[in-house]
């Protein structure tokens, strides 16, 4: 058996619990001069370099980094692959933005060659930004998801995706039917769910673009296969919420539509939730559902400010989402920069350790994958990053003034972006080198 054990020496930091639950000090582990050991695609040890090195064979291969921080790979719990080509579309809020920019852009994915080209660009962009796992919306076309999974499989990435189900209130060129969406989703599930590190997500776009028949069949798919994910949007925009009330007058509210069709559960992730009420947060928490907090999108589309303290009060699982292309950056560091401002505008705070938690372990918990990703605990997948303190002249100068790992972390999240990610590893393999 060839020796696949490798070691990485640098400052090492990971979240081990939610600071809102255990307090900041107990929420993380930090090794100023640490060592991370990987073996056969998994982490086998983590600790102070001087201690661990003494227990390892003298000839083990060690990569030693100066002025760098090793963290778990970032987890993006909400992103749209077919919107890669329309980031930064001017002037509209959600519903007009969808009609003017989004639907025409997504229609291009009827062409498999286009889908393959964008899947390649999209995955490179994820890895350049340090995102090792994402929960991904495809377009309505099954080939958008095939292309994505084919590319992800080649790199042995842990990824989750699904084909959009959308059978009304969208242009004819972009709608499926309740029946065809069920058949096409089922074929994708059979092909990809549980293959390597890939998982499938049943993906009704949002309540306004699905008929009751389609939502019923989405619920049926979830009942037919174990461990499937469900992803959709909820309560992002006030006009959208009014529209849902008109379309489903018999339901108590937006969440109740999804609840009625049996779409809530431990692997269900709802994007945005900007305008959720207390009762809806309680119901989401009770069913083990999660929210994807998408600050750059909520600012860009003028949707509103997500109430993280309310979610915390209900012990609701929250991950971070870039929501490309409503969001404006693939970088979860930049997403945290904006998340901080969302809290500031509500008179609240977002500590750097809560931010780290949201981008890593919090996302893993939202996806029920905390035994595999989100930390650097031995036995989990070797998905990790090397962040460069000298990525830009300003970052290097600013970090020289930092007096604690808390300050360093906060500055990385404020000034950092794709340039900060020196290397990305997935299943122990180098998948991005700046
Ligand atoms: N709601 C329904 N579809 C979308 C989408 O593509 N992006 C966002 N941000 N919200 C949505
Ligand atoms: Zn979205």
Question: How confident is the model over 287-342, as pLDDT tens digits?
Answer: 999 999 999 999 999 999 999 999 999 999 999 999 999 999 999 999 999 999 99
Task: State the Cα–Cα distance between residues 186 and 168, nearest whole angstrom.
Answer: 20
Task: State the Cα–Cα distance between residues 193 and 306, nearest whole angstrom.
Answer: 32
**Which residues fall within 8 angstroms of residue 210, CB to CB, at 6 or more apart?**
165, 166, 167, 168, 204, 218
Q: Say what the pLDDT of residue 226 is.
A: 87
For residue 300, the ligand closest to its alpha carbon is: 1
Atom number, ligand 1, closest to the C-alpha of residue 301: 9
Distance from Cα 93 to the centre of ligand 1, integer Å: 10
Whether residue 297 has its Cβ less than 6 Å from ligand 1 = yes
What digits encode the pLDDT tens for the residues 353-373? Answer: 999 999 999 999 999 999 999
Distance from Cα 80 to the centre of ligand 2, integer Å: 6
**Which residues fall within 8 angstroms of residue 51, CB to CB, at 6 or more apart?**
none
Beta strand spans in 259-342 (E): 268-272, 290-293, 317-320
Tokens standing for 155?
């790199």
Q: Is the pLDDT of residue 1 over 80?
A: no
Q: Say what the pLDDT of residue 42 is.
A: 98
Q: Which helix (H) or strand (E) holds 181?
A: helix 178-192
In the structure, what pLDDT confidence band is assigned to residue 2 with cuts at 50, 70 and 90? very low
Whether residue 102 has its Cβ less than 6 Å from ligand 1 = yes
Tokens standing for 124?
């490179």
Whether residue 135 has its Cβ less than 6 Å from ligand 1 = no
Whether residue 233 has its Cβ less than 6 Å from ligand 1 = yes
b/e map 387-424, b = 16+ CB within 10 Å: bbbebeeebeebbeeeeebeebbbbbbbbbbbbbbbbb
Q: Say what the pLDDT of residue 3 is.
A: 56
Distance from Cα 356 to the centre of ligand 2, integer Å: 22
How many Cβ atoms are within 10 Å of 54's Cβ, its own excluded? 8
For residue 270, the ligand closest to its alpha carbon is: 2
For residue 241, the ligand closest to its alpha carbon is: 1
Distance from Cα 213 to the centre of ligand 1, integer Å: 21
Q: 131, 332 in Cβ contact below 8 A?
A: yes
* Pocket mutation for ligand 1, best pick of 79, 102, 322 (most atoms within 8 Å of C-beta): 102
CA distances (Å), origin 268, targets 18, 184, 292, 375, 426: 20, 20, 10, 21, 25
Distance from Cα 232 to the centre of ligand 1, integer Å: 9
Q: Which residues surround ligand 2, an ion (CB under 5 A)?
A: 271, 323
Beta strand spans in 187-304 (E): 198-204, 229-234, 268-272, 290-293
What digits encode the pLDDT tens for the residues 207-220? Answer: 999 999 999 999 99
Q: Domains (ranges, CATH) in the chain?
A: 5-73+375-433 (2.30.40.10), 74-330 (3.20.20.140)
Q: Which percentage of the chain shows pLDDT scores above 90?
A: 98
3-class secondary structure, 136: strand
Q: Name 42's bridge partners.
A: 39, 381
Whether residue 138 has its Cβ less than 6 Å from ligand 1 = no
Pairing of strands 131-137, 198-204: unpaired
Which residue's alpha carbon is at the smallest distance from atom 8 of ligand 1?
A: 326
Q: 266, 289 in Cβ contact below 8 A?
A: yes
The residue assigned the tokens 């939202």 is 366
How many Cβ atoms are within 10 Å of 256's Cβ, its own excluded? 17
The distance from CA 169 to its chain's CA centroid, rounded to whole angstroms, is: 27
Q: Is the pLDDT of residue 4 over 90?
A: no
Q: Which residue has the higher pLDDT, 386 or 3?
A: 386
Q: 393, 33 in Cβ contact below 8 A?
A: no
Atom number, ligand 1, closest to the C-alpha of residue 206: 2
Whether residue 80 has its Cβ less than 6 Å from ligand 1 = yes
Q: 106, 170 in Cβ contact below 8 A?
A: no
For residue 79, the ligand closest to its alpha carbon is: 2
Task: State the Cα–Cα distance between residues 88 and 192, nearest whole angstrom.
Answer: 32
* Pocket mutation for ligand 1, best pick of 80, 87, 298, 325 (most atoms within 8 Å of C-beta): 80
Q: How many residues does the chain have?
A: 434
**Which residues fall within 8 angstroms of residue 217, CB to CB, at 6 or more apart?**
178, 179, 181, 182
Distance from Cα 109 to the centre of ligand 1, integer Å: 17
Task: State the Cα–Cα distance between residues 413 and 395, nearest whole angstrom.
Answer: 11
Q: Name 199's bridge partners.
A: 160
* Pocket mutation for ligand 1, best pick of 76, 82, 94 (most atoms within 8 Å of C-beta): 94
Q: 55, 298 in Cβ contact below 8 A?
A: no
Distance from Cα 86 to the centre of ligand 1, integer Å: 13
Claim: this prediction has a pTM higher than 0.85: yes
In the sheet with 42-48, reading across from the earlier edge strand, the strands are 42-48, 28-39, 6-15, 61-72, 384-388, 421-426, 429-433
Whether residue 169 has its Cβ less than 6 Å from ligand 1 = no
Most distant CA pair in the chain, distance:
70
**Which residues fall within 8 angstroms of residue 323, CB to CB, at 6 or more apart?**
78, 79, 80, 271, 272, 292, 294, 296, 297
Task: State the Cα–Cα distance between residues 407 and 254, nearest whole angstrom.
Answer: 40
Distance from Cα 388 to the centre of ligand 1, integer Å: 33
Q: Name 202's bridge partners.
A: 230
What digits encode the pLDDT tens for the residues 28-86? Answer: 999 999 999 999 999 999 999 999 999 999 899 999 999 999 999 999 999 999 999 99
């Amino acid at each position: 058996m060839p020796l696949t054990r490798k070691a990485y020496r640098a400052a090492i930091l990971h979240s081990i619990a939610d600071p809102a639950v255990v307090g900041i000090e107990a929420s993380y582990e930090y090794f100023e001069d640490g060592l991370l050991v990987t073996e056969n695609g998994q982490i086998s040890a983590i600790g102070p370099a001087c201690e661990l090195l003494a227990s390892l064979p003298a000839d083990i291969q060690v990569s030693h980094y100066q002025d760098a921080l090793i963290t778990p790979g970032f987890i993006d719990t909400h992103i749209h692959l077919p919107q890669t080509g329309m980031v930064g579309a001017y002037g509209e809020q959600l519903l007009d933005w969808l009609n003017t920019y989004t639907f025409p852009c997504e229609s291009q994915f009827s062409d498999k060659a286009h889908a393959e080209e964008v899947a390649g660009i999209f995955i490179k962009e994820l890895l350049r930004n340090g995102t090792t796992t994402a929960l991904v919306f495809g377009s309505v076309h099954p080939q958008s998801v095939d292309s994505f999974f084919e590319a992800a499989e080649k790199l042995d990435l842990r990824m989750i995706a699904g084909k959009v189900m959308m059978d009304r209130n969208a242009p004819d060129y972009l709608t499926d039917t309740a029946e065809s969406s069920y058949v096409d989703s089922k074929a994708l599930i059979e092909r990809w769910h549980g293959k390597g590190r890939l998982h499938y997500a049943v993906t009704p776009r949002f309540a306004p673009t699905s008929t009751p028949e389609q939502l019923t069949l989405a619920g049926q798919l979830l009942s037919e296969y174990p461990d499937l994910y469900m992803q959709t949007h909820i309560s992002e925009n006030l006009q959208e919420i009014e529209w849902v009330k008109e379309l489903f007058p018999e339901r108590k509210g937006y969440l109740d539509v999804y609840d009625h069709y049996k779409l809530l559960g431990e692997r269900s992730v709802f994007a945005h939730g900007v305008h959720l009420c207390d009762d809806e947060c309680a119901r989401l928490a009770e069913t083990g559902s999660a929210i994807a907090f998408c600050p750059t999108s909520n600012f860009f589309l003028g949707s509103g400010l997500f109430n993280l303290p309310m979610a915390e009060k209900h012990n609701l699982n929250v991950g971070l989402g870039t929501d490309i292309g409503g969001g404006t950056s693939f970088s979860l560091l930049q997403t945290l920069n904006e998340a901080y401002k969302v809290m500031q505008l509500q008179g609240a705070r977002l500590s750097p350790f809560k931010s780290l938690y949201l981008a890593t372990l919090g996302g893993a918990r939202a996806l029920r994958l905390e035994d595999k990703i989100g930390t650097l605990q031995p036995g989990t997948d070797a998905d990790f990053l090397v962040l460069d303190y000298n990525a830009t002249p300003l970052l290097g100068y600013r970090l020289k003034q930092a007096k604690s790992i808390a300050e360093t972390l906060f500055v990385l999240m404020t000034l950092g972006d794709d340039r900060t990610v020196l290397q990305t590893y997935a299943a122990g393999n180098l998948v991005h080198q700046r």
